[in-house]
Amino acid sequence: MNDNLHQLRCFGCGTRIAGAGAQPDFRCSNCGDLFEVEYPGWTQRRGPDRPNPGALKWLWRERRMSGEALDQSGVWRFRELLPILDNFGNAVTLREGNTPLYHLPRAAKVLGIDQLYAKHQGMNPTSSFKDTGMTAALSVASERGFAWVACASTGNTSAAMAAYAARAGLRSLVLIPEGKIAWGKLSQAMDYGAVTCQLKTDFDGCLKILTEIVRTAPIYLLNSVNPYRLEGQKTPAFEIAEAFDWNVPDHIIVPGGNLGNSSALGKGFRELHELGLVARVPRISVVQAEGANPLVRSFAASNGASIEPLEAHTRATAIRIGNPASWRKAASVIRDTHGWCIDVTEAEIAIAKAELGAEGLGCEPASAVTLAGLKKLRAKSLIAASDVVVLVLTGHTLKDADYTIDFHRGALLSTEEVAGHEREIAALRRNAVVVDATPAAVLAAMKDRTA
Ligand code: F0G
């Protein structure tokens, strides 16, 4: 199982190529679609040569006790299921993964669901789920001798890439849409030493330009079109399955932007199932913002068979994407697992974020679409009271503090957006009040808030 025997298979036409044989833009030269990493050894091994599920589960858990850097990573402790490096000693790790799975009793009660959990991927080293993918793909870049890595980003990918590149001693180039990413993320890319270019275009425009650049310059592309990113991002599926003692939950809900994450989690659960580590795969649903919902429209028009790019608008800047690269993979995950693809409004996102905050779980607006989506699915009776549901929270609340402060100050949403949600919003808003510097004034303020 440890041999690096992976190959790349085109998701569109099925063409197979060697791992190092991909074009710099990771598009199939035959049909232009994206590749997926595949491990032919797994299916060839039969009988006693098949990996022993019990032994693997034991090994992965044991590694959590180990003092070795690789074992302490929630990605590389599952390295038997991601043999993408010639030498695991080349892995670049910040001890990513091993993120907490929190119970959400209050939201569960309100929704009438027995078991609701949040897998908080914002608790990664650079505070987003991107770290799990970056450790994998940047390790490949480093092993293959690249001096430069690059990504287009709505902020989190660039923060993760810059950090891992800095750890590996590589240079990094970041292309971001000017004025449309949260400051927390931009500050990270700067601090980790990336060459950061703010372009007068959107995310989709940045990715297009970067694709042209990597075709001519020896720069390794680290967007999620890079199939190794998804290998790392599949590991939260393993952690979720492990947390439920390998009885997978009924339903996983993820935000959808460029659609790499939903594709990766789907692949993770599929592989666990194929290898006999779990008995079934969960339903995987994707939630988009209403103003950035190309996949929702695609399902409405063609059940996910084709997609129309659009100009995206949402304050959840992380998922402000109108032309998602991995849409075909994500659509197939949704169809194969019998999940749903739905969208939510700006007010629904802001309310869900504040509700998670009120349970002590801060997250980015893009992550809060999961709870907003769950509320919609439950209202339509598409989720049973007995279902075990896991929301994947993708980023930390401090990534976009401006959004949170604006919400609590009542400056985030327009009157039209608030319409119909006035009471919910009023109950959640907690503005900071200015009071006299006396005990009496502070006690009076407390009384006001609890009245
Ligand atoms: N949530 C957060 C916090 C994100 O940063 C992203 C994507 C998503 C959800 C959507 O995930 O693209 O895999 O469907 N952020 C990218 C970036 C695009 O550049 O940081 P996806």
Residue type, 77: R
- pLDDT computed for residue 51 by the predictor: 76
Backbone angles phi, psi at 419, to 5 degrees: -50, 125
339 CA from centroid of ligand 1 (Å): 19
User: Inter-axis angle of helices 53-62 and 235-243, to 10 degrees?
Assistant: 90
Q: What percent of the chain has pLDDT over 70?
A: 98
**Ligand 1 pocket list (CB less than 6 A):** 128, 130, 153-157, 224, 255-261, 318-319, 364, 366-367, 394-395
Question: Which atom of ligand 1 lies at the shortest distance from residue 264's CA?
Answer: 13
The Cα–Cα gap between 341 and 187 comes to 33
Give pLDDT tens digits for 318-329.
Answer: 999 999 999 999
Give pLDDT tens digits for 118-157.
Answer: 999 999 999 999 999 999 999 999 999 999 999 999 999 9
The Cα–Cα gap between 181 and 432 comes to 25
Q: What percent of the chain has pLDDT over 90?
A: 94
- pLDDT computed for residue 448 by the predictor: 82
319 CA from centroid of ligand 1 (Å): 6
258 CA from centroid of ligand 1 (Å): 6
330 CA from centroid of ligand 1 (Å): 13
Averaged pLDDT, 2-28: 92
pTM recorded for the entire structure: 0.96
Pick from 207, 319, 343, 397 the residue to mutate for probing ligand 1's pocket: most ligand atoms within 8 Å of its CB: 319
Contacts of 82 (CB under 8 A, 6+ apart): 75, 76, 136, 231, 232, 234, 235
Give pLDDT tens digits for 221-240.
Answer: 999 999 999 999 999 999 99
- pLDDT computed for residue 38 by the predictor: 95
342 CA from centroid of ligand 1 (Å): 17
Q: Whose CA is nearest to atom 7 of ligand 1?
A: 318
318 CA from centroid of ligand 1 (Å): 5
Beta strands in 184-290 (DSSP E): 195-199, 219-221, 251-255, 283-289
Could you say which architecture CATH assigns to the domain 101-125+230-428?
3-Layer(aba) Sandwich (3.40)
Q: Reply yes or no on whether the pLDDT at 34 is more than 60.
A: yes
The Cα–Cα gap between 283 and 285 comes to 7
Averaged pLDDT, 7-15: 97
312 CA from centroid of ligand 1 (Å): 14
Q: Reply yes or no on whether the pLDDT at 109 is more than 80.
A: yes
Q: Whose CA is nearest to atom 15 of ligand 1?
A: 318
Pick from 99, 123, 130, 314 the residue to mutate for probing ligand 1's pocket: most ligand atoms within 8 Å of its CB: 130
179 CA from centroid of ligand 1 (Å): 17
Averaged pLDDT, 25-44: 92
Torsion of CA 61, 65, 68, 71, to 10 degrees: 20
The Cα–Cα gap between 101 and 25 comes to 35
DSSP 21: G
Question: Which atom of ligand 1 lies at the shortest distance from residue 259's CA?
Answer: 14
422 CA from centroid of ligand 1 (Å): 29
Pick from 126, 129, 157, 258 the residue to mutate for probing ligand 1's pocket: most ligand atoms within 8 Å of its CB: 258
Question: Which atom of ligand 1 lies at the shortest distance from residue 128's CA?
Answer: 3
- pLDDT computed for residue 1 by the predictor: 45
Q: Whose CA is nearest to atom 10 of ligand 1?
A: 257
Give pLDDT tens digits for 256-314.
Answer: 999 999 999 999 999 999 999 999 999 999 999 999 999 999 999 999 999 999 999 99
Using alpha carbons, select from 245, 279, 277, 235 the residue that is nearest to residue 392: 235
- pLDDT computed for residue 5 by the predictor: 83
Pick from 132, 156, 259, 367 the residue to mutate for probing ligand 1's pocket: most ligand atoms within 8 Å of its CB: 156
Q: Whose CA is nearest to atom 19 of ligand 1?
A: 153
Give pLDDT tens digits for 371-405.
Answer: 999 999 999 999 999 999 999 999 999 999 999 99
447 CA from centroid of ligand 1 (Å): 41
Averaged pLDDT, 332-337: 98
209 close to 229: Cβ distance less than 8 angstroms? no
